[in-house]
């Protein structure tokens, strides 16, 4: 990202140096570049500007209200998976008629809440859920707009924990039951069919997987038309990969290839196309700033211990994710690197940010920057080991602002209550 680079020997995000930020906000903290988020959103929107497209940002990637507000102002809709996310989207000013409700097992309370807000549609995950939505809507003389999430049974070629479009995954209505689901939907009270939906996985760099899935969806659409069921939109989900390592394809090249795949089908579709990108919009716009708190050489390796841990960023240990890590102060061009393990203070061997990673010499007090953590990082953090959730900061040009403070220890402790009979 051009927004996150060394300038005069110091890393900066937009026009603010990491050292200046660390003097104002205690480490560790997340920091996002507003201009990088805008750049990604606009690149995505431009790729489909000639189509009747709606971009429903997948809020699960990063749901900070400041980021949602920024995206709402750019015209984004939202893909939500819970009542909490729906409330966040509405609170940020995303109009209800631009919100799709995915979510693999929605509760009755969540369905009722979404019905009361008259959202764009429910992405229905099963025939049981379809019946439930129908019952809840008709009991209140409401109509639910629905789109069936079809599991097209394709291999997205991504990490097993983020693959969702194979028949063995829990997601969506199996391809073979799809027609039956639509036929049922057409007869159920309180239901209007508006679309079809898929989402085959995340961090997908094999664009042919989208092509394969689209072919299957097109087959279904044709069969639906023969049954007299016409759709207002096709939701192609999210999943486009981004560049984490130097070996990954450039994300703009991927976007161009992806756009070609979608365009191949767009004319025949002749309806609105909904996209649910999450990672593409935000992953590379975020960094985690952390301080070295100990350097511990042992027999055959060195541990660089930092003040951020797996509770702040779980991706390395959960998905074997590789995040670039660089010192905030640029190393001399001839500085030697040695492989180290960069680890946090949590009492788990799985608490690492990188293993066997070449790093130039660092000392206690040095600042490190963990890159590409805008997506699925702060949202997945927790307070394990009674560590406080860390702050989030937004930078825009030369301005920076705290967009989520780190709670105090007192707030952390006061969340619990002790029965007076103890
Ligand atoms: N739509 C649905 C229904 C989804 O489940 C997801 C992501 C998206 C859209 C957005 O996908 P994206 O464009 O961001 O790939 N925690 C994992 C990623 C989990 C993705 C879950 N679903 C990680 O850190 O890699």
Residue 167's pLDDT is 76
Of 225, 252, 275, the last residue of a domain is 275
Residue 88's pLDDT is 98
Q: With a 6 A CB cut-off, is 319 part of the ligand 1 pocket? A: yes
Residue 244 CB partners (closer than 8 Å, separation 6+): 283, 321, 322, 323, 324, 372
Residues 131 and 266 in one domain: yes
Q: Which atom of ligand 1 is nearest to the CA of 102?
A: 3
Of 224, 257, 275, the last residue of a domain is 275
Residues 223 and 107 in one domain: yes
Total count of domains within the chain: 2
Could you tell me if 110 and 82 are in contact, meaning their C-beta atoms sit under 8 angstroms apart?
A: yes
User: Which of 147, 164, 202, 370 for a ligand 1 pocket mutation test, highest count of atoms within 8 Å of Cβ?
Assistant: 202
Of 275, 309, 328, the last residue of a domain is 275
| Residue 213 domain boundaries | 103-275
Atom 23 (ligand 1) nearest CA: 376
Residue 204's pLDDT is 95
The DSSP code for 178 is: H
Residue 163's pLDDT is 72
Residues 271 and 288 in one domain: no
Residue 389 CB partners (closer than 8 Å, separation 6+): 312, 381, 382, 383, 404, 406, 407
Residue 169's pLDDT is 78
Residue 155's pLDDT is 85
Residues 203 and 295 in one domain: no
* Catalytic residue flag (residue 347): yes
**What's the CATH code of the domain at 370?**
2.40.37.10
The pTM of the full predicted model, rounded to 2 decimals, is: 0.97
Residues 396 and 289 in one domain: yes
- In the three-class reduction of DSSP (H, G, I as helix; E, B as strand; rest coil), residue 82 is classed as coil
End-to-end CA distance of the chain: 55
Residues 290 and 213 in one domain: no
Residue 165's pLDDT is 73
Which of 46, 67, 61, 43 has the alpha carbon at shortest distance from 372?
61
Residues 225 and 298 in one domain: no
User: Which of 40, 44, 54, 61 for a ligand 1 pocket mutation test, highest count of atoms within 8 Å of Cβ?
Assistant: 61
Residue 356's pLDDT is 97
Residues 118 and 228 in one domain: yes
Residue 171's pLDDT is 86
Give 10-residue mean pLDDT values along the chain (422 residues). 92 97 98 98 98 98 98 98 98 98 95 98 96 97 97 84 75 93 97 97 95 96 96 98 91 97 93 98 98 96 97 97 97 95 97 97 98 98 98 98 98 97 97
Residues 128 and 257 in one domain: yes
Q: With a 6 A CB cut-off, is 322 part of the ligand 1 pocket? A: no
Residues 130 and 259 in one domain: yes
Helix/strand number for the chain, H first, E second: 12, 21
Residues 254 and 309 in one domain: no
């Amino acid at each position: 990202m051009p927004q996150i680079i060394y300038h005069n020997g110091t890393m900066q995000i937009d026009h603010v140096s990491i050292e200046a930020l660390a003097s104002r906000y205690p480490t560790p903290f997340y920091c996002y570049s507003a201009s990088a988020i805008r750049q990604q959103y606009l690149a995505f929107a431009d790729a489909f500007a000639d189509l009747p497209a709606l971009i429903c940002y997948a809020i699960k990637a990063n749901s900070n209200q400041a980021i949602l507000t920024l995206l709402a102002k750019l015209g984004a809709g939202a893909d939500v998976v819970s009542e909490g996310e729906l409330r966040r989207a509405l609170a940020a000013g995303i109009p209800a008629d631009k919100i799709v409700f995915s979510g693999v097992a929605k509760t009755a309370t969540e369905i009722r809440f979404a019905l009361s807000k008259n959202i764009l549609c429910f992405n229905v995950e099963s025939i049981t859920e379809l019946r439930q939505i129908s019952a809840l809507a008709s009991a209140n003389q409401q109509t639910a707009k629905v789109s069936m999430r079809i599991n097209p049974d394709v291999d997205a070629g991504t990490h097993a924990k983020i693959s969702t479009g194979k028949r063995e995954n829990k997601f969506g209505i199996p391809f073979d039951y799809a027609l039956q689901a639509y036929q049922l939907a057409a007869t159920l009270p309180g239901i209007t069919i508006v679309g079809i939906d898929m989402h085959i996985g995340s961090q997908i760099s094999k664009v042919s997987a989208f092509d394969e899935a689209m072919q299957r969806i097109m087959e279904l659409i044709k069969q639906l038309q023969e049954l007299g069921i016409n759709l207002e939109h096709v939701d192609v989900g999210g999943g486009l990969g981004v560049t984490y390592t130097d070996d990954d394809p450039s994300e703009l090249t991927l976007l161009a290839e992806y756009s070609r795949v979608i365009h191949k089908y767009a004319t025949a579709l002749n309806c609105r196309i909904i996209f649910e990108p999450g990672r593409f919009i935000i992953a590379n716009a975020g960094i985690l700033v952390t301080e070295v708190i100990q350097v511990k050489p042992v027999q055959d390796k060195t541990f660089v211990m930092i003040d951020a841990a797996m509770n702040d960023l779980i991706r390395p240990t959960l998905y074997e994710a590789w995040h670039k890590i660089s010192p905030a102060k640029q190393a001399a061009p001839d500085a030697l690197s040695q492989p180290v393990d960069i680890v946090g203070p949590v009492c788990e061997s799985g608490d690492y940010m990188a293993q066997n990673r070449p790093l130039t010499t660092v000392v206690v007090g040095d600042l490190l920057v963990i890159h590409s953590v805008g997506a699925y990082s702060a949202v997945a953090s927790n307070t394990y080991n009674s560590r406080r959730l860390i702050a989030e900061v937004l930078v825009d040009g030369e301005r920076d602002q705290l967009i989520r403070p780190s709670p105090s220890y007192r707030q952390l402790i006061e969340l619990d209550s002790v029965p007076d009979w103890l």
